[in-house]
Structure formats: C-alpha cells, structure tokens
A and B are shown apart, each in its own frame.
Chain A
C-alpha cells in the first residue's frame, strides 16, 4: 500500500516543515488551522491531509481516499450515536495510532506562546508566512468547529503556561519537573506502547536538563547588551495580542457552533477538551524541546548530554576483575537476544498491518495494481519476518499486508519494432549514420611541455575586494547614498576631464580665427577658397558651440542631481531619525567677481547671438533663393493656367463678366488651385520666408544660458563628498533598521575561484561591513597545467551555514605579458537578477522601490557592484615570468585550441604540404628561438629558401639524417644492398638467392648480369630468335599483360586463408558419419583395394628431390605395326592381305615407352605387339625452378612430360669379320611412333591424371601401318577410330596442394566489373550451388577479360565469320568447310593461361584479340570455334568440362542431323557423342549466347549425357523465369577482319626453320657425321603441301611407295610432324623428342623437309617431314 505510507511520509515531512517554520517564527498561531485536532481524528484527518497534500498526488488516489474517508466518517457517526459509552475506547485507540503523525504537529502550534527569542527582529515575517497556511485552511464546517473547541481549551492552558514562562528563567527546573511528571502520566495512558513511551521519555528528561544548561549557558555567554535587554523587557510581544482576539473569535464561533451543531452533545465536547488539554501539555513540552533543538543545534546538545551522563558513570574507571565465564545456557540465551533467524513461515496479515486495520485489496476495489515481480514464497516470508523484527517494520507493508513493491519492470515483449529485413537493406530511416568523431574541446589542451620542470606556469589571482553598488540589504538611505556616490564619482571624473573648459577654449580659438579671416576677407574681397574656408570655420564653430552647450548642460544637471539626491538623503535622515551612511555633502562656494562675471556672461551671449544671427541670415538667404526659384516656377505655371481658363471662360460666359472675373482671380490667388482644379497637382505658391527676429534669438540664447549656465555673479558650487558623518548607533534605531543591520552583520561573503570551470580555491569568508564593502585582499597562486580558458570568480553570500551564489564574474585570461606586480587591479562590474525581498528596512533586490510619498516613480534595483581583482602571470625567481609562451597560449575563444597542435590544425595529410605548415607556423606565431620548434623552423627554412626543393616528405625528427649511416646514394651503389633489395622484391633471379655475401667486395658483378640482361631484353625484341616480327610483338604484348596481371595479384598472393595454414578436419555430415560408422564393420583387407587419398602437402616446405613424378604406363592400343620391307610397292599390301600367318611369323612391333621430363629420360621395358601392356611405374625426379617450391612457382612450371612410344627395331648388322661364325651383331634402332605431351601444370593442378590418351601420331609413318587386319575384335572401332591410345596414370608424389586456393584468392581479389551487381551475385550463387552439388563438374559463368574485368561468359558467344577462303573453297561441301575451320582454329598455338600467367587466373580474350595474339588456351579456341560454327549455321554450344589430359577445359558441342558431335578445339578433331575415346570426361555446363546450363545429370561423361537442354531435370539454366536474361550485349566484334598472310614471308620462314632444324640435328649428333639425302629432301618437300591439303589423311601409303621408287634400296623410316607455329623452340623440341637423330648407324642418311602453309591472319601450319634412310 504505497498510498498510505506516502501519506505518512508526507505527514512527517509536513511536520518537519512546520517545525522549521516554527523555529523561525515562533509566534505562529494560524498553522494550527492546518492541523486538525487529535481528537478530531480518523474520519476528518485524511480529508484534511488530502487538502494539504492533494496537490501533488494523483487524482485517483485522492478520490479513493475521500471516498474512504466519507465512508468511515459515516461509520463513526453511527458509532458515536449508538455507543456513547464505547467512545472512550473507540477513540483512544485511533488516537494512539495517529499520534505519531499528528501529535507533534498539533503540539507545534502552541510552542509560540512559551518560548520567545530574546530579540523581536523576526516579527515582521509573520504576516507573510501566514499566507500559505491560510490557503490550507480547512473549509469544512466540522473542522472549524472542532478547532474552535481546541482553541478554547488551549487558551486555558496558555494562560496557565504564560505564568510559567515568566517563571521560566528563574526556576525552570521546577517547572520542567512538573511538566515531566504530568507528561509521563498522560503519556502512559495515551500511548499503550511501552517501548516507544520509554524511548520517548528518556530524551525528554534529558532535554529538560539540557534546556537548563542551555539557559544557563546563554546567560553567561551572550550577555545581552543593554539594548537587547531593553528590547526584551519593553517590547510588546505580538503573539499576545492576537491570542486575545483569537480567543474572542473562538468564543464567538463557539456560540455559532452551539447553534449550528446540535447533534453534538456537550459531554463529548468537554471530553474532547480535556483530552486536548492533556495532549497539549505534552505537546507544549515537546515543542519547547524541539524549538530548542531548532535554534541551538540539536546534535551538539545531545552530545553534551552524553558527556554529562558519562561524568557520573562509575564505569569510567578502570577495573580489573577475573575473566568471566559465561555458561552455555547463558550464552545461548544471549545469542538468542542478539541473533535472530527469520522463520520462513507465512506471517499472518494482522501482524503486518496496523491494528484494527483490515487488509485492503486495491485490485478488488477496481484500481490498477501492477504485477509484482516474482519472488519465491519462502523468500518473501523470510524477508517479511526479518522486516517485522525491525523497529519501523510496519512501514514496509502496504495496506494489503504485503511488502511494498513496485510493479515488475520487465516487459514481456520488446518495445522496439522488430526488424524483418535482416538480409535485405535496412529501412533508410533506420540506417546508422556515420558521423565523424568530434574531439572534445578540452581534450589535448595541456600546455606542451607543462610537465617539464621549466614549464611550470603560475597564474596569480588577486582578489582584493568587493563593493556593492546595490545590495538587497541596502536601506533606502544606502540606495540614495550609493547614487550620490556614483554621481559624485561622475562629477569628479567630469571635473577631471574638464570637457566644458576644453570646448570653450576651442570655441574661442575658432572664433578668433574666424574673425581674423573675416577681417582679411573684408579687406581683400572674397575669393572662392576663402569663402569656402570661412563657411567651414563657421560650421565648426557652430558644432563646437553645440557640443559645449551640451557639456555645460550635463555639468549643470549633474550638479543639480547631486544636490537633489543629497537633499533627499537629508530629508530621509530627518524622517527616519537615524543615519545609515557616513556620507556628507559639502557645497563649497566660490565667490566670483560679479561685474566681471556678468560682463563675460553678456559677452558670451552677445557672441552667440551674433553668430546665430549670421547663421540665420545665411539660412534665410538660402531659403529666399529657394523661394524665388519656386515662385518663378509657380508664376510660369499660373500663367499657363490662366490662359487655359480664360479660354474656357470665354466659351462659357460672355465678355461682360470678364472684368469681375479678372478681379476674382486676383483675389483667389492662393486657394484657386484647390478650388478650381482639384484634378491637377499644382505647385503651391511658396510663402515668403520669414526673417527671424533678432529679439527672439536673443531671448532663446538667454533662456538656454540660464538653463545650462551659472547665473552671472552666482557663486560657483563645488560639491565635496565626505564620509565623515557618523552612523546612528543601533540603540537609536527603530527595530526594522536594527533587524536590517543585524542581517547585514550576519552575512558574509566569500569568492570561489574557478579555473577552467573547476574550483581551485576560495577566499576566506569575510563579513559584509555596513558600508557594503568587503575586503578580501587574498592572492592565489595557481600552478597551471591546462591552458587557461576561463577564470571565473563566483561570489557567494553566506548566511549562517548556508550560502548561495550571488554572482559570477568572468575574468579575462591575461596575456603572457601581464605579470604580477605590473598588472593593475581591475574593477569588474557585476550584477545579478536575484529577487530578494525583506520585511525589514532592507530594500531588497528586483523589488520596486519608491522614494516618493505617494509611491510613484518606482525604480527597481538589482544587486550589483564592483569586484576588484587582478589576474596575472606569476613571476619566478630571477624575474622570469611564469607564463606559457605565446604560441601555446590561446588568448581567447576566437583562437581555438587547434592552433596549438600542428596536426590538428592542418590535418595529418597537411603535414606533407609545406605551404600549410608555413601558414600554420605564421598563424600560431611559432617562436623561432624555442628549442621545441626547431624542427619545424628548420623545415620551413628549407621549404622557404627557394634554392633547395622541399622534400616531399615531412619529418618530425629532422635529426634523423644525422643517424643515417651512409647517404642514400651510397646505399644505392652498394652491391650487397642491391642484392638484398632485389631479393626482397622477389625479382625472379634472386628470389631464392642464398648467402648474400657478407662483405661488399665478395659480391661479384656477375650476379647481376642475368638480371640486367633480362631488363635490357625487356626493352628490345630479339627478332632473330622469334623468326617472325609479328610473333615477337605478340610475345612482348603477352609479357606485358602477364606482368600487369601479376602485379595485380601480388597482393592477393600474400593473403592467407585458414586452410593454407591449418589443417582441419571438415565438418562431417551425418551421412559421412554414418558411412564412417559403417566402415568400422568393414573387413580390414578388402579384396578390391582402392586408391587411398593421400595426404596433401603444401609445397612450401619442400626441397629438391622431395618431389617425384610417378608415371604409370599401363598399356597401349593400336600401335602401328611395321610393314615388311619390300622393294616392290604392290607386294606389301598384297602380303598383308594374304593371311594371318604372316603376322604370326613376323614381329609386328616391339614398342616401348620413353618418358622424358626435365632432361630425365626413363623408359619401360619393351613389349610385343600392337597392343602392349607394360604396367610399369616410372619415377622421375622433379626440380622446381630456382628451388622455389611455393605454390605459385610450381604452377608456373612450364615443363612438359613427354611420353614417346618407340618401336625397338633390331637390325643385324653385317657380322664382323673376326667372329662371323660365332656372333651376330645387332643394332638397335628406335623408331618414333608417336607421343603424348602432358604439361606439368596439368598434373599439378589435377594432382593425378588417369586415362587413355590419344597418342599424337604422325599422319604418315614410313614403314609402319596401322592396319592390323588380324583380329576382328577391333574392327568396329578401328573403322571409326584410327588413333593409337595409351593408358597412363600420372601423379606427383607426394601429393601437392593444388593451386585451387590461389584461384579462390583471385576471386577474393575482386576484379572490378561492368556487369550488373545482381548478375554477379547470381552467378556467384550459381557457381557455389553447382560446386556444392557436383564438386567435380566445372561451372563457369563469369570470366575475366584481358583488361582484368569480370565478364559474363555468354557475352563471348556470337556468330563470327571465318576467313572467307574457307567458305569459298568448298561451297558445296559444308562438312569440308567445317573441318577446315576446325583445323584453322587448332592451328592457332595453344598457350595455357595457367602457365603464361603463372596460374593467376583464366583470362579470356575476345576472338579478335585471340587472333591478334595468336595464342590462347582451350577456352579461347573453343569460343572461336563455337562462334565459327554458329556462323556456319550450326547449333553449337560451348562445353565447359574436364578432359584428359587438359583437365578443366572447353570443348564445342554441335548438333547435327546425325547427332551430337564434340569438337576438341585445340586439335580440330571431333567425336561422336558415343565415342568412348573422346577425351572429354565430364560435361560441366553448356554455354551459348543466351544462357548457361549446368549439368545436373547423374553421370557427367558425354557418353551418358543427354544434351537436350530443354529438360529441366537434366540441365539447370542460369537464366530462368525468375531471373530472366537481361539482354547482355556481346563483347565480340561484329565481324572479324582477316588479313592475308604474306606468302613470301612464310616461304622465308620456311627456309629459316629448315636451316635451323638441320643445324640442330647435326648439333645433336656431335660424334657422327650427318649426311643429308638431298634427293629425299626434295621428294619429301613435295609431299608436304599435299599433306596440308588432305589434312594428313589417306596419303600414307603413297609416300612410301613413291619414296621407295625413288630411292630404291633404303630402309626408310620417317614421318611428318604437323605443328601450329608459334616459335622455333617447340618445333625443335618436337623434332628432338622423336629421337630420329639417335640412329647411330654409320650408313644412315637423313632427310628433312619443312613446309609452312600460311593461313589468314598469320596462322601458320608447319609441317616437318623427317626421315632416316639406311642403306640396306
């Protein structure tokens, strides 16, 4: 029940407040109106209280209470009527209950009567303080009635106690004793609570004692002065007076009551009175005590009292006794007394509530009660029990018997609106706005170097004093006196300035000069200049005269007002019969010579009059001139008018009237215009200016003179203000004045000094003297650390122990030059708008005040005054000012603290800007001699002295240079540092350079040779090596692109991911977990072993020899077989056809595989037959370039693995002569049959390669045929598929981490893109989704173009024209054209991106770029091929998938009538969909110009893939209905322009290549002579163009036959190699790998022919025909 406790609380407060007022105004009577009698209880009281308190309570509460009160009132009435007998009981108990609340307040009323302060100064307040109490008057009739009774009863008591009061001083003890006795009695029957009564009693007795002491002490201490004593005894105590009328009125009221209130019986009234009386007695006493307490500081008294007790205590003396044993029982008992275990049983409600109170349930009454916070029952019980043990426990409980509790503050639901758009963008209104942080004004304001010992700055604040020009305690006289003083000050200062004198003299001088001039002028006649000067002079004279007059008038009025004020003071003093101020005004008369004075006076007037006359004359002349002019105008106008009118009149009237008209007109001169012609605005006839009369002028001058000047002959009055007057003593003053004076004397002032809004010191408090001056005279030395911003002096007025802020004075922060001793004391005026009002003579502040008797002419004065103080910087020893240097010292608010700090002023970036620094230095007035500023000064000197260009850096520590070991140039020159630097820059040559020599001289110049060469090469193109200028340019261009791309990625390369550093198990899905569990049950050694996943190793911590390349050569199919050597062309074929026995008898072929990698060559054993099975593992060591095994480096390894298939041929050479019979010499020749080339980068990125590879066999193999014919098993595929296949498994041991992570990082690197952000996001999502579902299927939606921008892949697909000649060549055979186009595409050299761009990323160039660069990876080939096919009208798609050996690659899919065909763009070959030897292994996605479809079929191999992209179950389109194709335009050009290749250049190239190859072959055979069969050469040369034409098909047999025919007895083996041309290097490499040169037979001859066929756009097809001829 918060309400009731609230009431109680308020009552308590009220009581306290009342007591307070009582303490002040002890003659308070009317307050009792507020307090209903104790007798009049219960029902009335809440109502009364409601009135008192109601204002600040909520209406519901009030309403409720009134209702309740009324209800109870009715109840009591009933009770009263029916059970008169029971009343006693019924009423006493409520009284008890209420007593703590009302008792004191009712008691308080009476206090007035008994205790009276010795002085009566505070009486005046009573009227004022009555007001609030009156407002609290209860208006209910009953209340008044009861009050009356109460008063009547009390008046009896009063009279009784009045006697006591008089006796009080003489024999207080006896009285108190009596009171006490009586009190206890009453109390016991009133307060049933023994404890509380006892408690109450004790202090009471003590207090009485105390009171005695107090009284005694007072008598001794402040022996009252005679005046006081007099007052004490003579004054009429006002409270006595009202008591009489009051009692009278009470009587009257009582009468009325008697009439009006019949229902109340006298008996009851009497009873009430009695009780009231009893109560009052007690109340009185309490009140007395309380009053004492209020006035004499209660706690102190109590202490004294304690001392008093102790004095008498015998236990103070030390006593020794034996240790006391306390029995267990005893101790338990004691413990029980002290300790308390709260029970957790529920407390009955009756205990918790005040007696006779039924619990109320507010909720049941229909009032809102908040939900209580949940507390467990036991806890609540415990705390209730605990609280009940406490003394004032009951106040913790509400009306419903529960512990008071605020409603549960926790809300069930959030009040904040929920945000639904978590992933989408926030509502803009809810978007957080970034605001720049603002620096606190006071942050970083320390004076730089303040911590230094030399930097201790001292600010001296000298507060000398305070003078009030107005103070609320001013009496009227003071007001006047201060005004007088002010006027007198003014007078003095005017006197000092003597402006009047000055001006008079100036005037005289001017006049004299003017007169002189006039004289000259009069003699010589006027000149223009002189005239002008004269007029100027006269003007000056006039102005000066006016000024003088003004000043004189001021002087005069000042003097007058001084006298007036003084008179007012005098009259006031007379009126009030005392003086308050010591001011006295003397008027000193200075007599003057009357005659002289008069003469001067008259002279002055005369002069003035003359001047004025002249002036007015001049003015008159001017006016006259003006008038004349105007008159002229007017006359002219008038004439016109007349003429007009005449015409009119003539028409109207006859001639007869003309004369009269004339006259009339003459008369009507002036008003005619108005009357006759109201329409026209006519000029008024000007009036003739009046000549001002001299008389009037003189009169005016005289008047003015008498007003502003002393009358001639009158004595000069000189006021002199002295403070010699005496002030009337207190004893002669009336009481209000005495009160005022006392008030003044009680006040004291002190000043707080606030530095930067923090109090640093305060003055002693000095009492206010009667003249309202306070002298402090204190100097405060402030040690300053912070920059001074404000120095603030706060003037506080202290009354008793409380003080209030009177006024604040801000003192300006002094300049550093203002130093103690030299600084003058300044007077700072202040004023405050406090409103103060007194009931004594003090005039107050902000209160209207009038000195007139009728109260008019009010003026309002505000507290104001002057504070004299002085703030200056201290002076240290040796007279050094302790002020901060000027630059560090903000002189005022307009110069912000930003000037202090260079960085904050110009900003960090500005530090590099010399100009800004210079500006700042000038603005902040840096002291150039300050050692702290040397660095900046130094810098500025460098910057401003033009000859040195300012460095483009800013050094805060300019001494840095001195710490440099050597100059930068020297470091540049040092080879060792260069080496270190280059290594740090990761220049390729030095990336892994080890052991940079320790000493400079040990660094050889050779080290840099390679590097410098490379740098030089970068600039010049070695055309010789490239053979073709175009390719050289292209190569350079590629290199540039590569560099730029590498630079782009150099940062992302150093971005590490967690997976790069930490090996962590992936989170197993439930399925995997299940499988793992299932695996536990598996047999440990399964019959079908599977390859285990090997642990991947990051390449970083590897060294040479750690990595091996494992090549598992398993088997081969369809290896060409030897043909029988026959001279006759027809035979072999015949024999081949003849039968199988030939095959069986003859060794068909003995193939072996040779694997070469990085100059290591290993070979397998030799197997037999065209379908050999080797199943051998070859291990090749791997060395990374420069020993750098980092991922990036490994990815850029360009080495390729060559897998060559050779036929081992044994020839019996002619047996040597010696051992012909015993031994046969055989010679082994190996004949190259074909090769497979696998780049290492593919192996690295794939980590393993497993599959059947098509062996790249030459179109013609001399001496070999592919036709086996023996078995029919292979017939089926042989017919369609003529290739040789080898099955290989290649991997790297240990397994290296593939460069996948690098790719991801590239994605992170975030290329800028012109694609729509939405599209990019969608594509990312699509790819992630694809990778999630089918990790092994590549999915590409975006690629990066050559400029490094992300482009959507469909933009690359667009029909593009192939070279026209291909189309023209076979107009009737589209099939032919198709294959021609495919071949053309395949002839463009392939350059894997991963190699060229060091595995940074896939760059996809557009077709025109591709054709210009003539290099690209499979994707570019595929795109071009696809575009060509589209142009040819085929349905074509790009297949993104994986193939062997390329790995992720791109193929082209075409749809024709016969079905789907898959094209390998880099070889130009096509495969049917069902071809098992198709190198394409998985189909990831299809791309055309409209869409991208991801393969979501079960089996991704093309064999099993359904290419019907319309089926949604099999292909997932990128652009679907939900995300439609946004109409992406193509990045491809509209048309490809081809230029014809220069055939002559091709021929030249052909010759050069041939020459180089021949040289190379000879080079490779250093120990054997290499003979060239020229005839064969030419023959071969003839073959080659045919091969080109037929694209290497179906010509094999012809060659051999032809050759055989030509050459006869030679064993010929040879083959043509077909290569796209990029550089010579690959051709040489290819030739070398065939091993033709390895035939060491002495009779061997070689033949070599090169043919280069040019295609448009410099695409060159290179044919190399190699043959070895052994004469048989």
Chain B
C-alpha cells in the first residue's frame, strides 16, 4: 500500500447518469448502484455507492426516469479489474413489500467520450414452484447475497435467472495518463484530445 503514494497511476473519471429504465410490468422503482473493481483500483473522489429516488411511470410514457448522476474518479495501476457498474432495481410488489426487480452490470466504457449503455436486468429464480408462490405471497423473493456477484463470473453457474427489463446509463468517460502508461484506449475521436495527450506526454518526458 505504501507504494501507491508515490507510484504512477492512471485515472479514470466516470461522469454520467442512470437515465432510466424500462420495466414493462413494474412501477415505482428505485435503483441502487455500486462499483466493482479489482485489486489495483481505488476510487479517489465521488460516491462509490448510491441509491436513487423512487420514480413512477408517467401516464404517457412507460419509461421510468431517474436521471441520477454518477460521478466517480478511480485511480489504478492496472487495467485488470476495470470497474464495473452494478445496478440493482427495487420496488414494491402488489402487497407493498419491497422486492428486487433486477440486477445488472456493465463495464465502465474504456474509451474516452460519451457512451450510452443499456443494461439488461435479471433476477434470480426461486428454486421451487412453491417458493415462487410463497415468495410472491410474503414478498420475499430470492435475492443475491450481494449484488456485486453479478459483476463476477465465479459461482454464477449455480443460479437461474429470469430477465426483467433494461436500465439505461449514460457515461462520460475521461482518462488521464493511460496513454502515457502505455495503454492505448483506441482511436481518439477529436484532434484536441490527441494534441492534449501528446503535449502531456511531451511534458512527462
């Protein structure tokens, strides 16, 4: 850990918002988000976790709109374990119990610029039919022990899931020092960025 203080890092800034969701059957949902990242990553600023307001569908549109801002900066020494955004959506069921409506995850885009991601959401299925019924009745549906498992592969094979809907997230990605560290994040779409990075690298040299 002591090495991090003076070692070289690159930065990844995630701005954006959880725009909304499309859950055809449900209403009055809210969303939790968190990041999952590898060992060599650490958030420097911004919130790592958050919870949105409850939103309801309008009479015209059937979209749920949150427009909940995300703003986090990560520092890292290793692209392995690139952060993932994990979103989980909750809402009341028929009896007013708060139940999970979906889990989903997406990698933070790694090319600088604006991105929109539509995350398919899913929930774990009950093991038994009877459990499905009692779960529905008592409002206690199966949930992941930790929403973060959806960002990992390990152990997922034991679960059965059902797809639920979609959450749309928009990102504005900025990176710093990636190129300098030898990571080429694909083509830069604007010349200004290029020149900026080149001047930066020039400075560094």
Contacts and interface: CB of A to CB of B under 8 A. Distances in A.
Interface stretch (A564-572, A991-999, A1168-1176): A991-999
Contacts of A1067: 128, 130-131, 134
Contact of A1068 (B1, B134, B154): B134
A308 interface: no
User: Main secondary structure on chain A at its contact with chain B?
Assistant: loop
Contacts of B135: 1064-1065
A1188 to B, nearest CB: 11
A1056 B155 contact: yes
Contact of B142 (A1003, A1057, A1062): A1062
Nearest to A1004: B3
A994 B7 contact: no
Interface stretch (B17-25, B59-67, B145-153): B145-153
A998 B7 contact: yes
B41 to A, nearest CB: 8
B175 to A, nearest CB: 14
A1061 B158 CA distance: 8
A997 B124 contact: no
A1098 interface: yes
A1281 interface: no
B145 A994 contact: no
A1100 interface: yes
Contacts of A1098: 145-146
Contacts of A274: none
Contacts of B7: 995, 997-999, 1002
B131 A1064 contact: yes
A994 B124 contact: no
User: Main secondary structure on chain B at its contact with chain A?
Assistant: loop
A1058 B158 contact: yes
Contacts of B10: 998
B39 A998 contact: no
Contacts of B134: 1065, 1067-1068
A506 interface: no
B126 A1064 contact: yes
B158 A997 contact: no
B181 A998 contact: yes
Interface in B21-54: 39-40, 42
A328 interface: no
| From A998, A1003, A1056, residue with most partner B Cβ within 10 Å | A998
Contacts of A994: 1, 4, 39-40, 42
A1061 B3 contact: no
Given A1062-B144, A1101-B146, A995 B158 contact: no
A1057 B4 CA distance: 37
Interface in A327-356: none
B159 interface: yes
Contacts of B158: 1056-1058, 1060-1061
B154 A1054 contact: yes
A1063 interface: yes
B37 to A, nearest CB: 11
Given A1063-B145, A1064-B126, A1002 B155 contact: no
| From A1004, A1007, A1060, A1064, residue with most partner B Cβ within 10 Å | A1064
Contacts of B80: 980
Contact of A997 (B39, B42, B77, B155): B77
Interface string A1038-1068: 0000000000000000101110111111111
B8 interface: yes
B143 interface: yes
How many interface residues does chain A have, given as a range?
20 to 34
Contact of B155 (A999, A1060, A1066): A1060
B155 to A, nearest CB: 3
A1002 B8 contact: yes
B42 A1058 contact: no
B8 A998 contact: yes
A1064 B42 contact: no
B78 interface: yes
A492 to B, nearest CB: 82
A1058 B144 contact: no
| From A993, A1002, A1060, A1065, residue with most partner B Cβ within 10 Å | A1065
Given A1065-B138, A1098-B145, A998 B130 contact: no
A983 interface: yes
A1061 B144 contact: yes
A999 B159 CA distance: 39
A995 to B, nearest CB: 4
A995 B159 contact: no
B9 interface: yes
A898 B130 CA distance: 54
Contacts of B130: 1067
A983 B39 contact: yes
A1002 B181 CA distance: 13
B176 interface: no
Contacts of B162: none
Interface string A370-408: 000000000000000000000000000000000000000
Nearest to B2: A1004
Nearest to A1066: B131
Nearest to B140: A1065
Contacts of B138: 1065
Given A1054-B154, A1058-B159, A1061-B149, A998 B142 contact: no
B9 A998 contact: yes
B88 to A, nearest CB: 13
B78 to A, nearest CB: 6
Interface string B109-141: 000000000000000101110110011001010
B40 A996 contact: yes
A1101 B131 contact: no
Nearest to A1068: B134
Interface in A1057-1086: 1057-1058, 1060-1068
Contact of A996 (B77, B144, B159): B77
Interface string A998-1019: 1100111001000000000000
Nearest to B34: A1101
| From A1007, A1061, A1100, residue with most partner B Cβ within 10 Å | A1061
Interface string A952-996: 000000000000000000000000000010010000000011111
Given A995-B1, A1054-B154, A1067-B128, A1061 B145 contact: yes
A1064 B39 contact: no
Contacts of B154: 1054, 1056
A1245 B181 CA distance: 46
B3 A1002 contact: yes
A995 B3 contact: yes
A1061 B1 contact: no
B144 A999 contact: no
B78 A998 contact: yes
A1061 B155 contact: yes
A1002 B40 CA distance: 14
B188 to A, nearest CB: 21
B145 A1060 contact: yes
Contacts of A996: 39-40, 77-78
| From B39, B140, B148, B181, residue with most partner A Cβ within 10 Å | B39
Interface string A575-586: 000000000000
Interface string A1096-1107: 001011000000
Contacts of A1064: 124, 126-127, 131, 135, 142-143
Contact of B124 (A1002, A1062, A1065): A1062
List 8 A-B pairs, minimum CB-CB distance, nearest first: A1056-B155, A998-B77, A1064-B142, A995-B4, A1002-B7, A997-B7, A1062-B124, A1065-B140
Given A1063-B143, A1065-B131, 10 more contacts: A992-B39, A995-B1, A996-B39, A1056-B158, A1061-B145, A1061-B159, A1063-B142, A1064-B126, A1064-B142, A1101-B146
13 contacts: A980-B80, A994-B42, A995-B1, A998-B9, A998-B78, A998-B181, A1002-B7, A1056-B155, A1061-B124, A1064-B124, A1064-B127, A1067-B128, A1101-B146
